Amino acid sequence: MSATVAVTESTMDRDALAQVLLYSGILPTFSLFSRTVERLSPQLRVINYHGVPERFRRDFVSQLRRLRDYAPILHPNELADFHAADQFVSGLRLLLTFDDGLLNHYTVVADCLEDMGLRGLFFIPVGFVDMAARSRSERVSYFRANIRPHWDVRHRWADDLLPMSWEMVRELVERGHAIGSHTWSHQRLGAGLPPSVYRREILEAADRIEDEIGAPLVYFGWPFGDPEAYSSEALTLVRRRHRFGFSTFALPLRPGGDPHLINRVNLEAGFPTARLRLALDGFLDVKMYPRWAGVRRRLALSEKG
């Protein structure tokens, strides 16, 4: 119960902080500076979402419209071109990703994206999608045990916590979306795990998804957003097996950046506009730089050790 209250309060605090920054003039001033920098050099901001239940559909659509007004949204297949920097000379681009293989990604998100001519990149945990034919309580238990133990407004009712089936995943591919691995069991991939765990979560998960979708699997999305969920052992296998890997420390990608540590900034349906600006204008980058530097040190140190 106390964990629930803490999560709710922390979300409200962040909303309130964003509003204060916006109306005090701090955020607009920062944004002006940030947008000037963006105009001078190409940047890609990859956004990660989690669940988008039906009751958030309208919020999600209006947020997509704001994002589209803010900057061009790339198709996942355009990532390689951006990374190679042979097509974009300046300006900001966005890419939309959706974590955890939820049923509402199929029933809500894909529809909303397609209505606007957009496509997304969906990161799926193999073990969760494998649960699709199991009982409702087993599916919900798997989600709570492996993916998101805490309650929030977008992951509240049993209907919010169900997985897509493999048929739905294949249909998303046919409809032009991209699929990435989100490990086998949404395992934390910090240092010191048995080698067999890294192999199953990274290599075997990628092979399995590839078999299911009948197409090469090139994207990997790290589960969890804390530095302790990263390790050089995992990164070595991510680099070996995937073309692109996505982490969660908010910073934008520039052409030629590390293709296996592409950061993503978190947005969720229902976030107030001020929080969108906080994320997109780079305000969160200031907070994330030291954290990201710590992750990089951690990865480099482990590599030597």
Q: Which residues are near Zn ion by CB under 5 A?
A: 99-100, 223
CA distance 52 to 45: 20
Q: Judged by CB, which is closer to Zn ion: 70, or 224? A: 224
Q: How far is the CB of 186 from Zn ion (least distance, A)?
A: 6
Q: Judged by CB, which is closer to Zn ion: 83, or 208? A: 208
Which SS3 state, helix, strand or coil, does residue 272 take? coil
Spacing of C-alpha 19 from chain mean position = 24
Read off the amino acid at residue 130: D
CA distance 282 to 263: 13
| Closest residue by beta carbon to Zn ion | 99
Q: How far is the CB of 97 from Zn ion (least distance, A)?
A: 11
Q: Answer yes or no: are the C-beta atoms of 97 and 47 closer than 8 Å.
A: yes
Q: Judged by CB, which is closer to Zn ion: 124, or 213? A: 124
Question: What separation in angstroms does the CA of 270 have from each of 58, 153, 199, 276?
Answer: 9, 9, 37, 10
Which SS3 state, helix, strand or coil, does residue 302 take? helix
Q: How far is the CB of 24 from Zn ion (least distance, A)?
A: 34
Residue in 40, 44, 35 with CA at minimum distance from that of residue 254: 44
Q: How far is the CB of 221 from Zn ion (least distance, A)?
A: 7
Q: Judged by CB, which is closer to Zn ion: 99, or 160? A: 99
Q: How far is the CB of 220 from Zn ion (least distance, A)?
A: 12
Q: Judged by CB, which is closer to Zn ion: 56, or 98? A: 98
